Homo-oligomer: A and B are copies of this chain.
Amino acid sequence: MDLTKRQQQIVEIVKADGPITGEHIADRLDLTRATLRPDLAILTMAGFLDARPRVGYFYTGKTASELLSEKIKKYKVHEFQQVPVAVKESVSVYDAISTMFLEDVGTLFVVDDHACLTGVLSRKDLLRTSMGHQDLTSIPVHIIMTRMPNITVCRRDDLLIDAAHNLISKQIDGLPVVKDTERGLEVVGRITKTTMTKLLVELTTDENI
């Protein structure tokens, strides 16, 4: 949304001196209140300004792009999480790779007997091990997995965009979605870069998202 010159002037005035009444904004611009009414209505509806009775207009601090990004910022992890795929700590690297292919996932979660998270295996972890000229059937995954507390997790009610931030900043492909229990972190879901790519596609195709 492009603002007119006058609308930009109004935003600047409110930014600097808000809260400020419509009358005062009109005075500053040497215009009548009636002339300004459409502009103030537009700026308020578009979310740049907010108005409170007997207080006046104040700046919401939002640019057009910020307003746009708010849509993305609302999404929660549980709205997009996929089913997690987990293996036990004693499983061999060979079997873990097989599971990865069978389930067609890029990240496996390693769990204890109570289904609680103890490790994460990425394709990268498995590939590194498989370069080592070792017998993959004889190495248990707990030897090579990334362990707690070095695992980045997220929870159902976290913001999806925070999960996206973590995927980028930690340079990982997937995050476990966990639930806090007395025995540890139960793995209930999976968030990956595929989740994010799908969201981007859905944002441009599904108007109900």
Q: What is A's interface to B at a CB cutoff of 8 Å? A: 1-2, 37-38, 41-42, 45-47, 63-66, 68-69, 71-73, 94, 97-98, 100-101, 104, 106, 123-124, 126-128, 130-131, 136, 161, 164-165, 167-168, 171, 173, 192-194, 196-201, 203-209
- B203 and A68: CB pair below 8 A? yes
| Given contact pairs A193-B193, A193-B197, a sample of 10 additional A-B residue pairs in the complex whose CB atoms are under 8 Å apart | A1-B47, A38-B42, A42-B45, A45-B46, A65-B206, A65-B208, A73-B204, A106-B123, A126-B127, A193-B194
- Copies held by the complex: 2
* From B1, B71, B198, contact of A168 by CB (8 A): B198
Closest 8 A-B residue pairs measured CB to CB? Answer: A130-B130, A193-B193, A65-B207, A69-B204, A196-B197, A38-B38, A123-B123, A38-B41
Q: In the bound complex, do residue A167 and residue B97 qualify as a contact, i.e. CB atoms below 8 Å apart?
A: no
Are the C-beta atoms of B130 and A131 separated by less than 8 Å? Answer: yes
> How many Å lie between the Cα of A63 and that of B208 in the bound state?
10
